[in-house]
Copies of this chain bind each other. A is one copy, B any other.
Amino acid sequence: MKPETRKEEIIKTAAKLFKEKGYSAVTMRDLATAMGIKAASLYNHITSKQEILKVIIISLAEEFTQEMNLIKTSNHKAIDKLQMIVSLHVQITVKNTYGMACLNNDWMHLEEQLDYYLELRKKYEQDFIDIIKSGIKSNEIIDSNPEIIMFSILSTLRSLYLWIPKKEDINSNSLAQSLSKVLISGINT
């Protein structure tokens, strides 16, 4: 068992608070209280409130970017790639629910790193659309507006953080499978 550093503890606690109230509404004194220390003591471990946000969001965004690169350069069919994307989101959200909430709701409060984040997000969405387009070309996916399809799927995946903590028995694999079926095959008989 690797001992978690104090800094990692702070970031984890911050992510939890950010999920509940949002970055702006959480004060350094709130965070300190949650850690059982005084606000000034936080600065022995982190350099600023902003740094906490940066670490939470950028590390997640880079993880998504990396995994997307593996998926898009793989040799699977488009539909299978979509399933891999669903699994990716489920897995990361299960592992780091608070961070995902933060990524979704507080990205606009990034300062130095805002442009970088937006760039990563834009690329991710473009890769997503390209996969859908290739699936349309290969006749795996209906010839409908790729943006609507992307938006529809990605909205659900991005909202997973709202829903996953409610389920006690989160089996990542079975959730990813159920979700893939609904998103890809629809719900009608």
* A185 is an interface residue with CB less than 8 A from chain B: yes
Q: Determine, out of A6-14, A47-55, A111-119, A152-160, the stretch whose residues face the partner at the interface.
A: A152-160
Are B189's CB and A187's CB within 8 A? Answer: no
Known contacts A79-B188, A156-B155, A159-B151; decide if A25 and B182 are in contact (CB<8 Å). Answer: no
Q: A5 → chain B, closest Cβ, in Å? A: 29
Are B24's CB and A148's CB within 8 A? Answer: no
A152: B residues at CB distance < 8 A = 156, 179, 182-183
Are B178's CB and A151's CB within 8 A? Answer: no
Give the distance in Å from the alpha carbon of A184 to the alpha carbon of B178 in the complex: 15
Give the residues from 164 to 183 in chain A that come closer than 8 angstroms, CB to CB, to chain B: 175, 178-179, 181-183
- Considering only CB atoms, which chain B residue lies closest to A188 in the complex? B184
Give the number of copies in the complex: 2
- Considering only CB atoms, which chain B residue lies closest to A175 in the complex? B148
Are A108's CB and B182's CB within 8 A? Answer: no
Interface flags for A44-75 (1: CB within 8 Å of B; 0: not) read: 00000000000000000000000000000000
* A105 is an interface residue with CB less than 8 A from chain B: yes
Q: A174 → chain B, closest Cβ, in Å? A: 10
* A21 is an interface residue with CB less than 8 A from chain B: yes
Are B178's CB and A148's CB within 8 A? Answer: yes
10 contacting pairs across A/B (C-beta < 8 A): A20-B108, A24-B24, A105-B105, A132-B187, A144-B181, A149-B182, A155-B155, A155-B159, A156-B156, A185-B186
| Chain A residues engaging chain B, CB cutoff 8 angstroms | 20-25, 79, 105, 108-109, 132, 139-142, 144-145, 148-149, 151-153, 155-156, 158-159, 162-163, 175, 178-179, 181-189
